[in-house]
Structure 1
Amino acid sequence: MDDIPVAQRLVDAVISDFPDHAAGTRPVHTIGIGVDGYFVASDVARTYCIAEHFQGQQVDASVRFSNGSGSPVQHDGWNDVRGMATKFHLKDGAATDLIAMTLGEFFSRTVDDFFAFTTAARQTPVKRESPWQKFLDMLQLKQPLPDPYRRQTESGDAGTLAYANGHRFAQLGVFQAGMIGAPVSYARATYHAVHTFVVTGPDGIRRNVRFSWQPVAGVCTTDPTAAPVDKYLHQELRDRLEQWPARFMLMMTIGEAGDAIDDPTQPWPAKRLRVVMGTLTLTKVADDQAAAAEHISFNPCRLGPGIEPSGDPILHARRDAYQESCQRRGGNSCPLSGNSANARSANAK
């Protein structure tokens, strides 16, 4: 096992959680849709970061919205973490990526934690807890198991809840994931980049920050008491963009002394300063979905000058795992860039 690269083990571990996973597809966030748009930075963005896309000019952007599951079956109405991966197209063919999801905090601090979590999250036959068991769970301050959906035969909920009950650091992320619901639209959810990044301003000041996308249309989820619909998110987005653009504000939260920098399971205090860094305008669903949703490559460590990854071990592990995933599915990879030693090393190879 030690002879197998960590990136390969990470991808294999995620795939193992979904018995029906289709070879040649993303290990998670398998079902997705690509959208075209552009980003314009706010007037103050350039005072905080020298990155090219924060200087005020219009920058083309490619966005892929997705469901979190690694299953090839589209269950839009099920409780699930949704993804929003954004590629900012810069000069001379360069790019910067920002990968975000509707989960506010992650559930693993280290790579070893992640392997343990994926083992716990393996799919098992679903079971419906009795009302008495749900009551006992609540008395013990445990989250009861959710009732299975119609036609749902397997789930990882029992394992993830058991893992969270035994690992305090995972509790916030697992609880959020269990209560997140289903959005009425991909354009009506908040997406968090989860990890801490380091931005450099024109004055040379370096700041620890976290990014999130806030929908201008507001957040709205489906009725949890109604029967879930299998497929609606893709068509809803097509219909929405045929009438008017969808917009997101890019928010940057600035960390302070004592905030968790290298641990994505820990939230920052709500009183931290937040800066509007710009507006993303989505104009249409991409014409070529094979290129815009299936073959397009994103990587959380593909960062241009002015933005660097923090020392978060999960963030650095994702860098190589995303490259591994891209190679396995024949994605259109592009070079990693940025100021970090890891990125410079990758470019030199």
Structure 2
Amino acid sequence: MPNDPDLTRNQRLLRGVAIAGVLSGAAGLFAWSAGWLGAYPLTSAQLIERMEANAGVHPGYRRAHPRGICFSGYLEMNGSLAPLSRASLLEPGRVQVLGRLSVGAGNPHAADTSVPVRSMALLVRQPDGQQWRMAMNNPPVLAVRTPEDFYEQLGAMRPDPATGKSDPARVKAFFDAHPESDEFRAWAASYRPSDSFASTAYNSINAFLLVDAKGQRQAVRWSMVPQLAATPLGAAGVADDALQQDLLLRLQSGPLRWTWRFVLAGADDDVDDPTHSWPAERRQVEAGTLVVEQARAQLEGDCYGFNFDPLVLPQGVEPSGDAILRARSSAYAQSYRRRTLEGQPSSQHQGAQP
């Protein structure tokens, strides 16, 4: 994507449409439930079918963010958040992690840089056997608050069969009807992707609750903040697997690091609304460092067989009341069932190899 500070209004609109379209695919996975959702009969099957109608069916792949790369490493924790949670992961020490970096294109054969949305997923096993799974994205907020609105957003982003692109007028009408999307749209219009997974920040977006030994709860959001300075993505001449190759090349020179930064909600913050950031003056705590040591193509890596369901949480961490967050688990199960029944695809055209 060009790094042009003089984008026209229409170009900014199209940039926002493109990012929103990718996120509607990713967010579609946020919007599942095991049965009916909300006030009218919306099911996980209907949502996944709308996703497939938008992006196509690619057997054996995740229904959102199917193109990615596995990594492994560890979290080096400093214990600064241990007083706020019973989770042993937050105590000082080192814990091994399995992870996945991915891009938001719905087609697993699309270029790494075909869309600006990127994600990081983590699976952490505590010494006591409990797991903490995370799914983070580079946007700081979502465009809408409810699974039903995600479903409608998917419909608004439906590509025209003749052009393969969404109708900007239909997308604009959807967003105009959802003023809660203003913060997301402002971010999408101004965001410039970097040229590396390793210089991208990844956000929990949804809030979670840390629970201490006395049962007291503190709402938090978190980000993985890169320790590598960002360089803007170039406009042309980028290979299809550029981000994966870049990651592998950088790892040849040594590990890559992100700071795990938490933001603590204030008493007046709405912890159940993913469309708004909390005020910048809220307390921030650096809880540790994610160190990525190795990466491997996803179909040959350990990450392929896992669902990074963000509601798999250890004792001492709980979900907030965010409707979207609470609807995610069965979506991951639905997607996992479909792709495992289809069988693992071949490794052809899977991007970077180890």
Same fold (TM over 0.5): yes
Q: 1: CA distance between counterparts of 2:150 and 2:306?
A: 25
Aligned residue for 2:327, secondary structure, equals helix
Deviations 1:244-263 (A, max 9, x none): 10001111100012212111
Q: 1: CA distance between counterparts of 2:173 and 2:230?
A: 30
Aligned residue for 2:55, secondary structure, equals coil
The higher-RCO structure (CA 8 Å, 6+ apart) is: 2
Residue 316 of structure 1: how far off its partner (Å): 0.9
Aligned residue for 1:80, secondary structure, equals coil
Answering whether residue 287 of structure 2 is matched by residue 251 of structure 1, we say no
Aligned residue for 2:51, secondary structure, equals helix
Q: How does 1:51-200 map to 2 (within 5 A)?
A: 51-91=87-127, 93-124=129-160, 153-156=163-166, 158=168, 159-200=170-211
Relative distance call for 1:278 and 1:57 in structure 2 (3 A) is same
Q: 2: CA distance between counterparts of 1:91 and 1:330?
A: 29
Q: 1: CA distance between counterparts of 2:238 and 2:164?
A: 17
Relative distance call for 1:155 and 1:178 in structure 2 (3 A) is farther
2:329 alignment partner AA: R
Deviations 1:24-75 (A, max 9, x none): 2111101010001001212312122221211112111011000012112232
Q: Which runs of 5+ in 1 are unaligned?
A: 127-152, 332-349
Instruction: Report the equivalent of 1:347.
Output: none
Which of residues 287, 292, 295 in structure 2 aligns to 1:282?
292
Answering whether residue 76 of structure 2 is matched by residue 40 of structure 1, we say yes
Q: 2: CA distance between counterparts of 1:287 and 1:26?
A: 15
Which of residues 49, 69, 72 in structure 2 aligns to 1:12?
49
CA contact (8 A) 2:68 2:298 kept: no
Q: 2: CA distance between counterparts of 1:125 and 1:171?
A: 29
CA contact (8 A) 2:104 2:115 kept: no
Deviates more, 1:238-247 or 1:157-166: 157-166
Answering whether residue 348 of structure 2 is matched by residue 330 of structure 1, we say no
Aligned residue for 1:155, secondary structure, equals coil
Deviates more, 1:44-53 or 1:28-37: 44-53
Q: 2: CA distance between counterparts of 1:14 and 1:180?
A: 24
Residue 5 of structure 1: how far off its partner (Å): 7.0
Aligned residue for 1:15, secondary structure, equals helix
Computed over aligned residues only, the root mean square deviation of the Cα atoms, in angstroms, reads: 2.4
Which of residues 307, 311, 315 in structure 2 aligns to 1:305?
315
Q: Which runs of 5+ in 2 are unaligned?
A: 1-34, 342-354
CA contact (8 A) 1:76 1:182 kept: no
Instruction: Report the equivalent of 1:130.
Output: none
CA contact (8 A) 2:105 2:115 kept: no
2:325 alignment partner AA: L
Residue 308 of structure 1: how far off its partner (Å): 0.2
Percent of pairs with identical residues: 28
1:9 alignment partner AA: Q
CA contact (8 A) 1:161 1:174 kept: no
Q: 1: CA distance between counterparts of 2:269 and 2:277?
A: 8
Q: 2: CA distance between counterparts of 1:245 and 1:214?
A: 15
Instruction: Report the equivalent of 2:349.
Output: none
Aligned residue for 1:329, secondary structure, equals helix
Q: 2: CA distance between counterparts of 1:287 and 1:294?
A: 9
Which of residues 258, 279, 304 in structure 2 aligns to 1:294?
304
Aligned residue for 1:17, secondary structure, equals helix
Answering whether residue 65 of structure 2 is matched by residue 29 of structure 1, we say yes
